[in-house]
Structure 1
């Protein structure tokens, strides 16, 4: 089972003058909502997590949804034996997470994990569902904290692009 989560940083708060209603893509993806993120395999009790405090968590959720879609470009889908690769780069850092899909399974590794550590392995369909749920839950949390964010058209487009899946 997949668990995706985040925590917002108190060291890197959003600027107090922020107008969340009109914040553009750059601000939403790179300047606001900094903290840490993790992706965990609850079955094996292992996780990949950041501990930097400055990761833009909305950008992580957005990029993760993009990555999962990139891994699904082969028309043969889960029947494909060819490995499909995608990277999730962290803003303002050289660190990244690498995703490799073969058949219906995705291996997830990160630059900062030990070389001998096995990757986290998830079913692609489950990863897509969890990534989209994480994005929608995160947006709901952020709009609870900042009411004006619910009126931001960038987030409307984002939620329409990555709807929840059953």
Structure 2
């Protein structure tokens, strides 16, 4: 089972004067909602997580959904034996989260993990469903914190682009 989660940082609060109805894509993706994220395999009790406090969590959710789609570009889908690769760069550092799909399985590793530690492995279908659920749950949580965010067209477009699976 896959669990994707986040925590918002109290060290990097969002500016109080922010007009969430009109915030642009760059600000939403890079300047707001900082904290930490994790992907956990609940069966093996292992996870890939950050502990930096500055990761833009909405950007992470958005990028994760993009990566899952990128890993599905091979027309053979889960029958594709050739590995497909993607990486998620963290803007404020050189660290990366790495994804490799072969057949219907995706291995997830990170630069900061010990080299001898095996990757977390999930089915592509599960990763897609959980990534989209995480995005929608996160936007709902952020909208509870900042009601005007629900009126932002960028958020509407994002939710329409990646509907719940």
Q: TM-score, normalising length from structure 1?
A: 0.99
- In the TM superposition, what is the alpha-carbon distance from 1:92 to its structure 2 partner? 1.4
Where does structure 2 lack aligned partners over 5 or more consecutive residues?
none
Alignment of 1:20 with 2:15, yes or no, is no
Conserved in 2, the CA contact under 8 Å of 1:3 and 1:40? yes
3-state DSSP of counterpart to 1:18: coil
Partners in 2 of 1:27 and 1:44 — Cα distance? 36
Partners in 2 of 1:93 and 1:159 — Cα distance? 28
Partners in 2 of 1:101 and 1:16 — Cα distance? 41
3-state DSSP of counterpart to 1:37: strand
Partners in 1 of 2:76 and 2:145 — Cα distance? 42
Deviations 1:24-44 (A, max 9, x none): 000000000000000000011
Alignment of 1:116 with 2:84, yes or no, is no
How many matched pairs? 165
Where does structure 1 lack aligned partners over 5 or more consecutive residues?
none
Task: Provide the residue aligned with 2:34 in structure 1.
Answer: 34
Matches within 5 A, 1:90-101: 90-101=90-101
Task: Provide the residue aligned with 2:147 in structure 1.
Answer: 147
Task: Provide the residue aligned with 1:49 in structure 2.
Answer: 49
Conserved in 2, the CA contact under 8 Å of 1:2 and 1:42? yes
Q: Provide the aligned C-alpha RMSD in A.
A: 0.4
Moved over 6 A (4+): none
3-state DSSP of counterpart to 1:93: coil
Conserved in 2, the CA contact under 8 Å of 1:56 and 1:91? no
Matches within 5 A, 1:59-98: 59-98=59-98
Partners in 2 of 1:23 and 1:9 — Cα distance? 20
